[in-house]
Amino acid sequence: MRRLLILSLLMGGCAASETHRSESAAPVSAPAPMAVPNHTTTIGYSVQRRPIELHQLGGDVTRPVLIMGAIHGDEQTSAAVASGMLDYLTKHPESMRDTPVAIITMANPDGYAAVTRVNANHIDLNRNFPATNWSSRSAGRARRNFGGAASASEPETLALMQTIERLQPRLIISIHSMEKPCNNYDGPAQAVAETMARHNGYPATPTIGYPTPGSLGSWAGIDRQIPMITLELPRRLPGDQAWQNNRDAILAAIAIVR
């Protein structure tokens, strides 16, 4: 009974959105095709109980392009670009060309709030994924890229893993920043990286120049063969400029994996 009530509330919420959309978009005699509303859901909570939010855009939410910002909290430009894409696609859904897009603007909200690379447990989330190359020996706790005493130990990592397993994205773009910007690819994503390179001018490369055991690229791209781009923005570029410089690259990536 309780489940029925929740279901009916959910359906009621969606119906309300649909009604609002059809009123403004199409005459009654020629209704617009049934579209799934844009949903925002909380996929988990950080160590300090901040919500991690997922925005799902598009008419079909299966196998989206998943865009993530700020898994490293001190790379704040990455959140600006992910937020820019969320705003842009909300206003210009035709840019998705029927490819669903899911966006997590802030994968490490505690790190973002504290302006730290790591989460509140001092763990580098992008070394905490249970990839086959994960190793506790690769970095000590004092290091800035400590991957945890065990893989998948952090609530943020688990939320991201569960979301990726559930969504089965056709492409993941995780946005970072570093001194040498690049379109780094793991798994079958070389063509996507080369397409993005033509738009943002950063090289397409299979490595960022050093090993990244337990990274999302290792877990999702190499182990699971999900096309995976680690978009490294220039470190000191202001967020609005990074967005302007990368909008077309990300839109081109979305278009190429239709």
Binding residues for Zn ion, per CB under 5 A? Answer: 72, 75, 176
Residue 75 or 154: the one with the smaller Cβ distance to Zn ion is: 75
- 165 given a catalytic annotation: no
| CA pair distance 230, 66, nearest whole angstrom | 12
Residue 56 or 184: the one with the smaller Cβ distance to Zn ion is: 184
Residue 164 or 216: the one with the smaller Cβ distance to Zn ion is: 216
Q: How far is the CB of 186 from Zn ion (least distance, A)?
A: 14
Q: Give the sign of the dihedral formed by CA 91, CA 92, CA 94, CA 97.
A: negative
Paired tokens of 107 = 């994968």
Helix, strand, coil % in the chain, rounded to nearest 5: 40, 15, 40
Catalytic residue among 75, 154, 156, 232: 232
Paired tokens of 23 = 């009123």
Q: Which residue is nearest to Zn ion (CB)?
A: 176
Q: How far is the CB of 217 from Zn ion (least distance, A)?
A: 11
Q: How far is the CB of 163 from Zn ion (least distance, A)?
A: 19
Residue 50 or 72: the one with the smaller Cβ distance to Zn ion is: 72
Residue among 122, 114, 103 at smallest CA distance from 74 = 114
In degrees and rounded to multiples of 5, residue 68 shows phi and psi of -125, 140
| CA pair distance 124, 128, nearest whole angstrom | 7
Catalytic residues: 232
